[in-house]
Structure formats: structure tokens, C-alpha cells
Amino acid sequence: VGPLPPAAALAVVIPVARALEAAHAAGVVHRDLKPANVFLVRGADGAVLPKLIDFGIARRAEADEEPLTQDGALLGTPDYMSPEQARGRIDLDGRSDVWSLAVLLYETLAGRRPFTGPNYNAVILAIAHDDPPRLDALVEGLPPALVEAVHRALDKDPAKRTATMEAFRTALERVAATLGPSAPHGASERDEPHKQGHDEAALTADPIGELERLYKEGTAAMKADETIAEACRAELAALQGGEPCL
């Protein structure tokens, strides 16, 4: 759906931070945070909720535990790796997930990732050595506290980075509490929400409600595509050949 205004972005990221906070409390580091591992699912009350999935390469953070991989092995998605993970370290703690979630939030707000390159090697070099573009230089009107929270979580030095997922989540919740429905953030004259497929005013006023609408539209579109595909298969079967209609 393109870049999201702060209220909508935080409505997705804060529940993910809570899930990671619980994982970290159990001594588990996810190590593979990325948009593909954040699903919008329908809860028991019918509301659409963000859910974190795929703990396939997660591991416990205890230093005395046998490693699941040899030191130097590169596991995870490079675009979202922390510098220490990109270097092949296996003794990762929750601060690595803090970095990865900050990358995801940065991308949600700006519509681009903080570290880019023509291939994964270039991306890893950028993660290790380059400073990310300032969010407030890419998106007008972002709350300063939100920009500061994201960039502090993207500090390359784990000792200077936001220390825990709880601290990151708390900082984001403070920002979310200041966002009113009548004060859109991040909008500018160049924004064209109708081309991005979402209503920016609706996302700001009711983030989860608008995300639910988008979820329903996407589900309906997929069902429509499947109906067309089924009809096409039936037609081809009846004709026993011919040009495919899709």
C-alpha cells in the first residue's frame, strides 16, 4: 500500500514489538524480521491484528547454549539484518531484533529501506558502514520523537542502540499517544494517496479500520482472480486445448 502515516505504521509495528518483547523475555531472538513475516490476521472479535510468524531461525540468547550454526554463517534476510548479524555473529541478543524492527518501521514510514544496494553484498556493506538517510529528510512532518526513536534503534553500536524491545515499544507508544485523528503526519503536497490504494486520512483517523478495509479488498481480489482461473480451467477442459485465457 506504499508509505503509511505514523498512526497506521505504529498500529502495525507496536503489536509486533509486544510479541518480540515476549519472545525476548523467554530468551528467544527472532533473527529474521521482515514484512513477509508480519501477517494481518482476523482475531476472534473480527478485528484485523498484526501477527509475527516464522521463528524458523530463531535461537535462544544464552551464551552457554550450543550454537545452531557455525560462527560466520549468514542466516536471515540481509535487508533487515543488524550489523552484528550481517557479520555472521551468532551471539545475538534482543538488540539485533530491535534494529530489524526499526528497519521495518523505517520502510513503512518512508516507503524505502534505510540501506540499499544493487545486490546483497552491497546492502551488507551499507549496513556495516553507511549512515541511513534521516527519516525527516525523506518524509515531511514526522514527529521528532518518532524519528529519534527509529534512528536510535538503528545505531550500529549495540551498546548505544535502544537496549531492549520494551524500551523501543515504550518510545513508540508515547508517540502513538500524541497522534490525533485530525492531525495527519507525514503528508505533503506531493503525496497522492489515491494512487497508492489507500485513504491517508482514514489511515490516520482509524488505522486498524482502514487496514481491515484494505485486507478485505485484497481478499476479495484474490477470490475474484481464483474464480476467473477456475472458469478458465473449466473452459480449457471443455475445449480440450486452445489458448489460455489468463
Q: Enumerate the β-bridge partners of residue 59.
A: 29
Active-site residues, by number, are: 32
Distance CA 220, CA 244 (A): 23
Return the H-helix or E-strand segment holding 42: strand 38-42
> How far is C-alpha 41 from the geometric centre of its chain's CA atoms?
15
Distance CA 59, CA 154 (A): 22
Q: Name residue 180's amino acid.
A: G
Q: Of 139, 168, 196, which Cα lies nearest the Cα of 6?
A: 139
Between CA 106 and CA 115, with CA 109 as vertex, the angle to 5 degrees is: 35
Residues 6+ apart with CB under 8 A from 153: 98, 99, 101, 102, 161, 162, 168
DSSP structure class, residue 240? T
